[in-house]
């Protein structure tokens, strides 16, 4: 608005050639550019210090053997070569891919379902939306402890509830068959409310006229979902898919849950890549190998996001 | 959108509000500059949090997982008094920093501080983590801070696991043998008596099954992977005659003895006698498991006597030596933490002096201080003969669980191994695979053996055994 106003004022001073206007705007643009940079600089510096620099350092550290007590030795590609004979790496990669492969679609569907459920106004909608979003405002550590109580073998709320249908003996956090599934379900439960909010924003941007016209043409709820809602939600869906993939691969949700609930067990069944990297660095003091693993993880992440971008033609949904 | 005339009025009006001296643009520029400058100024601050590492030599930081926790518990109070007594008589002051146990043992606080060169001047180290720090060169040789009489006062081999190449790198504050805790009420409820307390592995399984109900497990063993779980399993390995490495440093993990010890834990899980995931803070938490009625028997350390006394004072229980296999011999694992001084701290000599005063002080106050730690605020086997005698004189070991610990359990104990991470990790993987993954014990032991052989072939740190 301020720019529009300024420009409107300047229009009054413009001569026939427009020279005066351009000269004044040029000076103004320089000042505004400077102010713009001043606003962006803190963020840019933060990104440089806390994101770009660590990435560069991590890559460099991957070529060293570092013990965490100030001793470092250049080892070339040894840390990368070691990956080829590390069975736990294969295990943790598989766990991460299974986690991401299940978590991303599940949280997408859950978030969308919740958004569709609370899209139309009804009495108490504010409370319902708040309840759905509530898990997301809590600390993941608190969430983990809460679920630890609920999933306790034999006496937890969930096993006791399931005992009525003969499934009370399942150890959700102590059996390798179920532990990762439990972590995935808790992650979805935690994050679905946030995805719901994003979907609600996307749904709000879809004009009602489309649905009304479709209704007049006799389209049912499912037909309108698949032929109107989902196509017009593509930008939102893309954003959610990309951020979910990043969250799943880097372990934003999974790390805290794994740390509190299972420590990578039972029998390494929840040993995600981020947790394995953490263990190498902080339990085994092998910072060089941890950095090499991080480089691999970033590669996997770039590949996954790249595939997503390629599949959506660079996220251009309205260019066709 | 307003018309141009209206917009002009708005701008004039806004400028009037901001004048004299401050235009909107100036304000924006100022805000931008301030936003840019404040974080930089903040980053340049030299202030350090209280109790942080990397002291200045006049104030020593002491990181631990007891005090000051702010909860007023006896162990926290003991640490507070310890530091208060020292500070009252010394120029170099000690500052406590409490780190919750879970973070201290498997978090990043301690490790990242050492990585950044700001490790604490004084800290606690478990045998299970000892070589990591010893091989990192951050443990100061305490030999010069203690005299021969003080060394001689330490009983048996408690100092051996803190020695590397003739250097004394830690002074143990306690010895913590493991035992089998059992609920007398749970036994009676199941129609069993104290005569049925299992003495063999077969009995452990059969009695455990009898004690298992739809609301209670027969036995709790540690299930969370890590060096603590290994610590609790080693006695079973020793009782069966197994080892991890032989005296020459060769890996001998893939043995029939170790297969049987691994298989026992797998069988107990498969039979539903032990939970796959414990309550509370894990297998070492007796009040949170057995004390809460979650199980009838639990393997844990001597520290649980004080914990039960403080948290569940009326609990009806007793302890017994760990059951042995057919043809095996009694054994237990003697854990316990040690005070260590940071060799790379600002004043390691003063830190060593504090450690020696706190743990090895031979005056009446020093002995009473350790008696309090080992038999009043916490229950342990003291590391020093003089303190043991003081505990005996006070009658603490005359009856009850502590009498059993002192007379039947501790004498068969072995010091907790000080394996480095690359050794305890394959063992942990094998144990987890058999206990919770249902893997064949021989297969799991073979995988661990291969990993151990690879690591030991290139190992060059402090002696593992």
B35-66 pLDDT, tens per residue? Answer: 444 333 333 333 334 444 555 678 999 999 99
B145 located within any domain = yes
What number is the average pLDDT over the span B385-410? 94
Q: Which of A235-244, B100-109, B170-179, B327-336 has the lowest mean pLDDT?
A: B100-109
* Amino acid A26: pLDDT: 84
* pLDDT higher than 90, residue A313: no
Q: Are A68 and B138 in contact (CB < 8 Å)? A: no
B40: enclosing H helix or E strand:
helix B24-43
At B166, the pLDDT band (50, 70, 90 cuts) reads very high
Q: Which of A170-184, B4-18, B113-127 has the lowest mean pLDDT?
A: B4-18
Answer yes or no: do B321 and B181 share one domain: yes
Q: Which of B1-15, B152-166, B420-434 has the lowest mean pLDDT?
A: B1-15
Answer yes or no: do B202 and B222 share one domain: yes
Nearest to B221 by CA among B207, B236, B210: B236
* Amino acid B464: pLDDT: 85
Q: How many domains does chain B have?
A: 2
* Amino acid B418: pLDDT: 92
Q: Which of A175, A268, A283 sits opposite B429 (nearest CB)?
A: A268
* pLDDT higher than 50, residue B15: no
| Closest Cα in chain A, distance from residue B84 (Å) | 31
* pLDDT higher than 70, residue A16: no
* Amino acid A22: pLDDT: 54
Q: How far apart are CA A285 and CA B114, in angstroms?
A: 11
CATH (domain of B383): 3.40.190.10
* Amino acid A19: pLDDT: 53
B16 located within any domain = no
* Amino acid A315: pLDDT: 66
| Closest Cα in chain A, distance from residue B247 (Å) | 24
| Closest Cα in chain A, distance from residue B203 (Å) | 23
Chain A CB within 8 Å of residue B437 CB: yes
Q: How far apart are CA B252 and CA B247, in angstroms?
A: 10
* pLDDT higher than 90, residue A291: yes
Answer yes or no: do B291 and B439 share one domain: yes
DSSP B297: E
Decide if B350 contacts B57 (C-beta within 8 A). yes
* Amino acid A89: pLDDT: 95
B6 located within any domain = no
* Predicted ipTM of the assembly: 0.81
Pairing of strands B295-301, B176-183: antiparallel
* Amino acid B18: pLDDT: 38
What number is the average pLDDT over the span B230-236? 97
Q: Closest residue of A to B448, CA-based?
A: A87
What is the percent of chain B with per-residue pLDDT over 90, rounded to a whole number? 75
Chain A CB within 8 Å of residue B6 CB: no
* Amino acid B103: pLDDT: 87
The tens digit of pLDDT for each residue in B274-299 reads 999 998 888 899 999 999 999 999 99
Chain A CB within 8 Å of residue B132 CB: yes
Q: Are A174 and B223 in contact (CB < 8 Å)? A: yes
Chain B CB within 8 Å of residue A267 CB: yes
* pLDDT higher than 60, residue B367: yes
B102 located within any domain = yes
Answer yes or no: do B341 and B329 share one domain: no
At A70, the pLDDT band (50, 70, 90 cuts) reads confident
Q: Which of A186-195, A246-255, B15-24, B252-261 has the lowest mean pLDDT?
A: B15-24
Q: Are B8 and A8 in contact (CB < 8 Å)? A: yes
Answer yes or no: do B298 and B247 share one domain: yes
* Amino acid A20: pLDDT: 54
Cβ-Cβ contacts under 8 Å for B243 (sequence gap 6 or more)? B237, B252, B253, B255
Question: Regarding predicted confidence, which is higher, B436 or B112?
Answer: B436
* Amino acid B35: pLDDT: 41
Answer yes or no: do B324 and B211 share one domain: yes
pTM of this prediction? 0.84
Nearest to B264 by CA among B313, B319, B326, B343: B326
Answer yes or no: do B245 and B378 share one domain: no
At B194, the pLDDT band (50, 70, 90 cuts) reads confident
* pLDDT higher than 90, residue B237: yes
Containing domain of residue B306, as a range?
Answer: 177-334+420-457
What number is the average pLDDT over the span A2-26? 52
Q: Closest residue of B to A151, CA-based?
A: B277
* Amino acid B34: pLDDT: 44
Answer yes or no: do B348 and B311 share one domain: no
* Amino acid A213: pLDDT: 95
What number is the average pLDDT over the span A269-282? 93
Phi first, then psi, for residue B176 (nearest 5°) are -125, 90
Chain A CB within 8 Å of residue B394 CB: no
In chain A, what residues touch B36 (CB-CB under 8 Å)?
Answer: 38, 41-42, 45
Decide if B383 contacts B158 (C-beta within 8 A). yes
B19 located within any domain = no
* Amino acid B13: pLDDT: 39
* pLDDT higher than 50, residue B423: yes
Chain A CB within 8 Å of residue B81 CB: no
Q: Exposed, middle or buried: residue B57 (CB in 10 Å: 0-12, 13-18, 19+)?
A: middle
At A308, the pLDDT band (50, 70, 90 cuts) reads confident
Q: Which of A8, A174, A284 sits opposite B4 (nearest CB)?
A: A8
Q: Which of A171, A268, A278 sits opposite B277 (nearest CB)?
A: A171
Segment 196-235 of chain A within 8 Å of chain B by CB: none
Q: How far apart are CA B305 and CA B298, in angstroms?
A: 12
Q: How far from A306 is each of A160, A252, A315, B31, CA to CA, in Å?
A: 44, 20, 11, 38
* Amino acid A180: pLDDT: 96
* Amino acid B445: pLDDT: 98
B380 located within any domain = yes
* Amino acid B192: pLDDT: 96
* Amino acid A306: pLDDT: 87
In chain A, what residues touch B437 (CB-CB under 8 Å)?
Answer: 176, 266-267, 269
B256 located within any domain = yes
Answer yes or no: do B384 and B330 share one domain: no
Q: Are A285 and B32 in contact (CB < 8 Å)? A: no
Answer yes or no: do B205 and B316 share one domain: yes
Answer yes or no: do B148 and B228 share one domain: no
What number is the average pLDDT over the span A60-69? 91
Answer yes or no: do B181 and B167 share one domain: no
In chain A, what residues touch B108 (CB-CB under 8 Å)?
Answer: 278, 282
* Amino acid B251: pLDDT: 96
| Closest Cα in chain A, distance from residue B35 (Å) | 7
| Closest Cα in chain B, distance from residue A124 (Å) | 36
């Amino acid at each position: 608005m301020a720019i529009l106003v300024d420009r409107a004022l300047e229009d009054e001073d413009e001569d026939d050639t427009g020279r005066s206007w351009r000269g004044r705007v040029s000076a103004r643009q320089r000042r505004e550019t400077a102010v713009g940079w001043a606003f962006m600089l803190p963020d840019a510096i933060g990104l440089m210090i806390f994101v770009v620099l660590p990435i560069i350092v991590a890559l460099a550290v991957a070529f060293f053997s570092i013990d965490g007590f100030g001793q470092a030795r250049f080892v070339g590609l040894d840390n990368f070569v070691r990956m080829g004979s590390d069975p736990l790496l294969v295990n943790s990669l598989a766990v991460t891919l299974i986690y991401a492969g299940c978590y991303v679609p599940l949280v997408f569907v859950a978030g969308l379902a919740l958004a569709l459920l609370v899209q139309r106004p009804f009495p108490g909608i504010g409370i319902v939306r708040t309840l759905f979003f509530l898990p997301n405002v809590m600390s993941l550590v608190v969430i983990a402890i809460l679920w630890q109580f609920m999933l306790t073998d034999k006496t937890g709320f969930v096993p006791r509830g399931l005992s009525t249908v003969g499934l009370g003996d399942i150890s959700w956090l102590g059996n390798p068959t179920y532990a990762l599934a439990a972590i995935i379900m808790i992650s979805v439960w935690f994050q679905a409310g946030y995805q719901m909010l994003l979907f609600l924003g996307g749904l709000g941007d879809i004009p009602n006229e489309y649905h009304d016209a479709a209704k007049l043409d006799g389209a049912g709820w499912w037909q309108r979902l698949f032929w109107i809602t989902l196509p017009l939600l593509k930008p939102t869906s893309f954003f959610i898919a990309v951020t979910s993939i990043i969250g799943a691969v880097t372990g934003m949700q999974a790390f805290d849950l794994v740390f509190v609930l299972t420590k990578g067990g039972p029998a390494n069944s929840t040993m995600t890549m981020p947790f394995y990297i953490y263990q190498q660095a902080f339990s085994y003091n092998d910072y060089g190998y941890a950095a090499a693993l991080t480089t691999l993880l970033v590669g996997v992440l770039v590949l996954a996001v790249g595939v997503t971008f390629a599949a959506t033609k660079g996220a251009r949904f309205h260019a066709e | 959108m307003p018309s141009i005339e209206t917009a002009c009025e708005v701008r004039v009006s806004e400028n009037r509000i901001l004048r004299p001296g401050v235009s909107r643009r100036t304000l924006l520029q100022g805000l931008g500059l301030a936003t840019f400058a404040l974080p930089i100024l903040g980053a340049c601050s030299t202030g350090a949090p209280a109790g942080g590492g990397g002291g200045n030599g006049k104030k020593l930081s002491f990181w631990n997982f007891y005090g000051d926790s702010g909860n007023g518990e006896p162990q926290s109070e003991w640490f507070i008094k310890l530091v208060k007594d020292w500070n009252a008589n010394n120029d170099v002051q000690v500052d406590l920093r409490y780190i919750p146990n879970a973070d201290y043992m498997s978090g990043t606080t301690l490790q990242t501080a050492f990585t950044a060169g700001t490790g604490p001047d004084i800290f606690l180290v478990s045998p299970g983590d000892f070589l990591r720090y010893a091989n990192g060169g951050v443990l100061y040789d305490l030999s010069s801070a203690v005299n021969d009489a003080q060394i001689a006062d330490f009983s048996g081999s408690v100092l051996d696991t803190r020695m590397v190449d003739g250097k004394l790198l830690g002074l143990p504050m306690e010895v913590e043998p493991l035992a089998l805790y059992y609920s007398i009420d749970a036994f009676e409820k199941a129609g069993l008596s104290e005569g049925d307390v299992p003495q063999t592995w077969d009995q452990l399984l059969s009695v455990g099954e009898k004690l298992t109900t739809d609301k209670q497990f027969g036995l709790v063993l540690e299930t969370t992977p890590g060096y603590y779980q290994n610590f609790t399993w080693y006695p079973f390995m020793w009782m069966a005659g197994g080892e991890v490495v032989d005296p020459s440093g060769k890996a001998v993990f893939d043995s029939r003895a170790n297969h049987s010890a691994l298989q026992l834990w797998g069988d107990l899980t498969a039979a539903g006698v032990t939970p796959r995931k414990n309550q509370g803070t894990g297998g070492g938490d007796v009040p949170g498991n057995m004390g809460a009625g979650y199980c009838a028997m639990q393997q844990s350390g001597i520290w649980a006597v004080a914990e039960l006394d403080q948290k569940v004072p009326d609990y009806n229980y007793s302890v017994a030596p760990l059951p042995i296999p057919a043809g095996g011999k009694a054994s237990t694992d003697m854990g316990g933490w040690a005070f260590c001084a940071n060799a790379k701290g600002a004043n390691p000599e003063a830190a060593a002096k504090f450690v020696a005063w706190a743990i090895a002080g031979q005056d009446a106050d020093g002995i009473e201080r350790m008696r309090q730690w080992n038999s009043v605020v916490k229950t342990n086997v003291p590391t020093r003969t003089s303190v043991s005698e003081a505990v005996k004189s006070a009658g603490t070991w005359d009856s009850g669980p502590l009498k059993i610990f002192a007379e039947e359990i501790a004498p068969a104990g072995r010091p907790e191994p000080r394996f480095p991470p690359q050794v305890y990790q394959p063992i942990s993987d094998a144990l987890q695979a058999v206990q919770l993954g249902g893997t064949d014990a021989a297969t799991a032991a073979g995988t661990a053996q291969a990993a151990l052989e690879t690591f030991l072939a290139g190992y060059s740190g402090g002696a593992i055994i």
